[in-house]
Amino acid sequence: MKFLVLGGAGAIGSVIVRDLLLNDKVEEVLIGEIDKDKALRLIQLINDGRLSFEQIDVRRVDLLVDKMKNYDVTINSTWFEHNLEATKAAIKAKAKLVDLGGLYYITLKQLEFNNEAREAGASILIGCGEDPGISNIMIRYASDKLDRIDSINIRDGDRDLTPMDKPVFKFSVRTMMNEWTKNAVIFKDGKYLEVPPLSGIEEFEFPPPIGRIKVAFSLHSELATIPEFIGKGVKYVDFKINYDFDMVDTLKKLGFFSEEKIKMNGLEVSVRDFTVDILMRNMVDPSIHIIDDAACISTIVKGLKNDRNLTYTMYALSTSRKDWRVSASSYLTGVPASLAAQMMAKEEIQFYGVLPPEACIPAEKFLQDLINKGIVIGEKIEVEW
């Protein structure tokens, strides 16, 4: 099996690369990156002859097409806004592609290519990381055990077990900026509704060592697919995540999320881009510091089984992978993408078109594969008699 990992030297991409190389049947892994120095450092650190690097700009669809044709599966772990370029390239290459999610709106645009991808013979699995990804699969697993679904709640939480002097951002700062500033979407009574970002704050009890923390509404890809692909009369779906709400509120009040252009040293930049740059410059560098944290994605599916009300709660929990110098969230996001890509290469997942995990992945097997990777899967069934 041969794999191309776009953005393979990043926090999540490096997990995908490492996990692929754990399989002796993997013959080659190519890191497609813009940042040559970062990629070469990772290659030197891993020291595996099957791993190589090529400078690839995912925005160059024409060049990406030729590259995809040489690999069994391509995994796109670049910033979510590049998912469309990778999708178009996969269709032209008649290739297999996995990505990590499109923050709702990009996901909707990718789904519009379903017919074109199916006719071309391309297989594009969208949103297969932690969430979206594990969340979708746990919802599929629970939903298959119900006759009717009333509501689905998705909760994402993490906790730093050893506090650090610098902020620890578990995924792309640019993506987080979108979650902090764009209206979230919920599904209610057959309609999609917008609610303010980080509104609806509530306390949610995650399993140890995370415990009880605050979560709030956030824009997320699950809402773009779950209502349609799960079906069964579902009336309500939402997604909430935890952040340092005090920090976000302070930045917002001080105007750091503004799109206004300012001049600095003769260059014009937006306040928002400046904020992203500052946060990235001051965040913890996993290559230098050991991150000690835990992350969890939890799903609560309520519905009917044999005319009885039933609540099916599931969670996937991981701590940081210190030997790989990656956070718990990075591990929970990278491993599912690696597993799905390997299943597609072995044709354990077969389809043509553009589909989310809940529409094409065998849930029970996938959850067992996650357990085999050291990810804790929990489930609880509550029945009203």
Q: What is the pLDDT of residue 133?
A: 98
Query: Is 3.40.50.740 the CATH number for 134-328+376-383?
Result: no
φ, ψ of residue 194 in degrees (nearest 5):
-95, 140
**Average pLDDT value for residue range 295-313:** 96
What the block records as the tokens of 93 is: 């290459």
Q: Full-prediction pTM beyond 0.85?
A: yes
Tell which wins on pLDDT, 217 or 179: 217
Radius of gyration, alpha carbons of the chain:
20
Q: What share of the chain is helix, strand, coil (3-state, %, to 5)?
A: 35, 30, 35
Residue 248 or 355, more confident: 355
Confidence class of residue 286 from pLDDT cuts 50, 70 and 90? low
pLDDT at 41 over 90: yes
Peptide bond just before 208 cis, omega within 30 deg: no
More confident residue, 209 or 178: 209
Tell me the pLDDT tens digit for each residue of 237-275: 999 999 988 888 888 888 888 888 887 777 888 888 888
What is the per-residue pLDDT across 307-341, written as a single tens digit (0 to 9) for each?
A: 999 999 999 999 999 999 899 999 999 999 999 99
Each domain of the chain, given as residue ranges in start order, spans: 2-130+330-370, 134-328+376-383
Residue 217 to residue 194: CA distance in whole angstroms: 10
Residue 79: the pLDDT is 87
With a cut of 90, say whether residue 89 has pLDDT above it: yes
Other C-beta atoms closer than 10 Å to the C-beta of 374 total 11
194, 283 contact by CB (below 8 A)? no
Topology given in CATH for the domain delimited by 2-130+330-370: Rossmann fold (3.40.50)
Question: Quick one: pLDDT at residue 262?
Answer: 81
The reported pLDDT for the residue numbered 376 is 98
pLDDT reported for residue 287:
65
CA atoms within 13 A on the CB side of 243: 24
